[in-house]
Structure 1
Amino acid sequence: MEWFYLVVAGIFEVGWAIGLKYSQGFTKTLSSILTIIGMAASFYFLSLSLKSLQIGTAYAIWTGIGTIGTVLLGIILFKEPINIMRIVCIVFIVSGIVGLKLVSIE
């Protein structure tokens, strides 16, 4: 279950990161509230995963999921640029996440 919690925490991290953009510096009420809820949910699920996962592995994977998801949604939702170097960097992050999962001690 701890890996499931970690993935859920990462998804919520993507949600609150995108929510920050929509909240426009916490000046939009609904977006701000949803962003704060996403933050709380992300930290909650991360804390559940940390009951049995190593902190270094879990934190790196959590931020990696958040980074990849936020970059991809930035490209889709906000028309941020996409180029080969961004794709290469995403592949490196995915490789790191997979590598950390493979070498983790549970």
Structure 2
Amino acid sequence: MAWVLLAVSGALETVWAASLAQSRGFSRPVPSIVFGVALVASMIGLALALRSLPVGTAYAVWVGIGAVGTAAYGMVALGEPATAARLLCLLAIVAGVVGLKVLH
């Protein structure tokens, strides 16, 4: 259950990062509210997962999911470049996250 909670919390990291960008410096209320709610939910999920997972592993997995999700959002929704090099780097992050899960 802790791993599922951690994965959801990592996905919420993507939500808050994307909402932060869309808030335009907190000048737009709806993305600002989404940012706050997603941030708090993401942190609570991470904290709950840390009850049974080691902090180093959990934090690295949480950040990895958020980083890959946010980069993918940028490429798909915001037109950021999806070069082979960027995709290879994101694949390396995914491999690291999977490795941490397998080695746990």
| TM superposition score normalised by structure 1 | 0.96
Q: What runs of 5+ residues in structure 1 fail to find an aligned partner?
A: none
1:45-60 equivalent positions in 2, closer than 5 A: 45-60=45-60
Q: Does 1:31 align with 2:31?
A: yes
1:3-18 equivalent positions in 2, closer than 5 A: 3-18=3-18
Please tell me the root mean square deviation across aligned C-alpha atoms, in Å: 0.6
- Partner of 1:80, secondary structure, is coil
Offset at residue 96 of structure 1 (A): 0.3
1: CA distance between counterparts of 2:96 and 2:50?
19
- Determine the structure 1 residue equivalent to 2:82: 82
Q: How many aligned positions are there?
A: 104
Q: What runs of 5+ residues in structure 2 fail to find an aligned partner?
A: none
Give per-residue Cα distances to partners, 1:44-87, cap 9 Å, x unaligned: 11111000000000000000000110011101111001101101
Displaced runs of 4 or more, over 2 A: none
| TM superposition score normalised by structure 2 | 0.98
